[in-house]
Amino acid sequence: MESAKKRIGEIIRVLYREYPGSRTALSFQTPHQILVATILSAQCTDARVNLITPALFKKYCSASDFARAKPEELQEEIRSTGFFRNKSKHIILASRKIVEDFKGKVPDSMEALLTLPGVARKTANIVLTSGYGRAEGIAVDTHVKRLSRRLGLSQENNPDKIELDLLGLVPKKDWLDFNYVFVNHGRNVCQARKPRCPECVLKSLCPSAVEASPIP
């Protein structure tokens, strides 16, 4: 990891320059909306989620509305995102807990967010960074996982272990934006099946650039 420590500052600097002002692609206006959108985005594209959330958030305007939602009805409304039964259950149960234990306000700490049904560290990190502009960690989604391994920042497979490696490398001031720029680079250049290494701005900093072996 010594090599990674030497490269991480330049990696971050280059990606900030390449993707200025990066933010989540999910559409939302409130912390509860980004919570719901993030739950829906599991195993689904952000673009697909953004197609259904305008109508969803118009019908369910608050945590209380989602807490009172009929499971079968909500399932049909989010069916196109996949895994709709589990997602519906988690959204309703999390919303009920927010209403009952947090007075209808999505909690703004990692510890409290992790008490919500269906919320693990990735979702909690996204809610904190996107909903509250706070960072207590780094969200490790499929893009961050893939790029972290290719760039030699972590050799772990478990997202929580990858996050621990990243927290030991990435300066705390960069935790807020790290996921955003990695996601953008993963979508635009360092794709899973066929990374575009010849045109990558990180190719001189990436130990995988020559082989460009896809990592799922």
Indicate the burial class of 216 (C-beta count within 10 angstroms; 0-12, 13-18, 19 or more): exposed
119 token code pair: 């919320």
- Residues designated catalytic: 122, 141
**What is the spatial distance between Cα 89 and Cα 102, in angstroms, rounded to a whole number?**
19
Residue/partner pairs of 110-119 with CB below 8 Å, 24 or more apart: 110/136, 110/137, 116/35, 117/89, 117/90, 117/93, 118/39, 118/86, 118/87, 118/89, 118/90, 118/91, 118/93, 118/94, 119/35, 119/39, 119/90, 119/94
